[in-house]
Copies of this chain bind each other. A is one copy, B any other.
Amino acid sequence: MEDIAREAGVSRAPVSLVMRESPKVSPERRRAVLESAAALGYSPNRLASRLASRRTRTFGVLLLDLHNPVFADVYDGIAEGVAGTGNQLMVAVGSADPAAETEAIRSFVDLRADAVLLAGYTGTPEQLAAVLRGTPAVVITREVPVDGVDCVLSDDLRGGELAVEHLHELGHRRIAHLDKPEWLPYPSRRQGYLNAMRRFGLEPILLEGDMSERGGFRAMNEYLDAGAPVPSAIVAYNDVTALGVLDSLVSRGLRVPDDVSVIGYDNTELAASPLLGLTSVDLHAREIGKIAAGVALERLAGATGPRIIRRLKPTLVRRRTTAAPSGN
């Protein structure tokens, strides 16, 4: 920067101003500075600039899993939300390992991200509070009771109910639910399922499997292999596992929805594909991401006050994998 100043015949201050596109520099000087910067192959060092200015204008975004398309939607929403605000996004991928997630968040904090957006945090509230050290954070799709941490999520309890209500209305009575209880810090969908089942006086059937297509496939296979009577409908934790369930059913010669109905969750593009036509509970991922970005922006703009909890209402998108039970 000093070289540029010398080359352009000015001191260092105007160079700094030109780089930040400040209007307080006369046009001719600005041109001179820009020219010698180009001539010298100057590349600004944002580490230094951020260190000195104590502002990074950057949000850290943690995405749980790139293989689940719902996070692409959440990301799009966040990107839409920060567009035009002059803020940047740096993203890290968590892989559902609390230690890795904590490390990623720590990295954001140490890099002095202005705020942190967590889409799919699986650790404990205590860990989160410890690693955040006061950095503004908004947790997406989960409610984490930590002071100063805002949450934007879908009403998963209601979503679970919605799925059961839809199936019950179609005439289903043997309705199973698939998720991964001991791992998941997101029990609300199952709870909603259980609530609705009890309300209808139905017996819950709980299956367990990893939260992936493969996990859904295996869990369903194991259940069928065990010789248990086939449920007439299955509520899967999300679209990806629902796809695995479909894989399993179809590979066993069971027809969907003729023999078994299947509901997913997230309403990803996967579910929306005309070929699959997966009935799914829409948690409005993109909108959630956008709102989360908005909340972070508000905090940066100085909004104080208690934790913000925004809980959107999920909606059921009915497609071709659910229908009235045939036999029974």
Tell me if B46 and A110 are in contact (CB < 8 A): yes
Q: Which residues of A contact B (CB under 8 A)?
A: 41, 43-48, 50-51, 56, 66-67, 69, 71-72, 75-76, 79, 88-93, 95, 107, 109-112, 133, 213, 217, 243, 246-247, 250-251, 269-270, 273-276
**Which residues of chain B are near A109, meaning CB under 8 Å?**
43
**Which residues of chain B are near A112, meaning CB under 8 Å?**
45-47
What's the minimum C-beta distance from A246 to chain B, rounded to whole angstroms? 5
**Complex: how many Å from CA A109 to CA B42?**
12
Nearest to A111 among chain B residues (CB) is B46
What's the minimum C-beta distance from A63 to chain B, rounded to whole angstroms? 8
Tell me if B275 and A247 are in contact (CB < 8 A): yes
A-B contact pairs, 22 of them (CB 8 A): A41-B133, A44-B110, A45-B51, A45-B110, A46-B107, A46-B110, A47-B111, A51-B51, A66-B66, A66-B69, A66-B71, A66-B75, A67-B69, A91-B91, A91-B92, A91-B93, A213-B269, A247-B273, A247-B274, A247-B275, A250-B275, A270-B270
**Complex: how many Å from CA A109 to CA B247?**
44
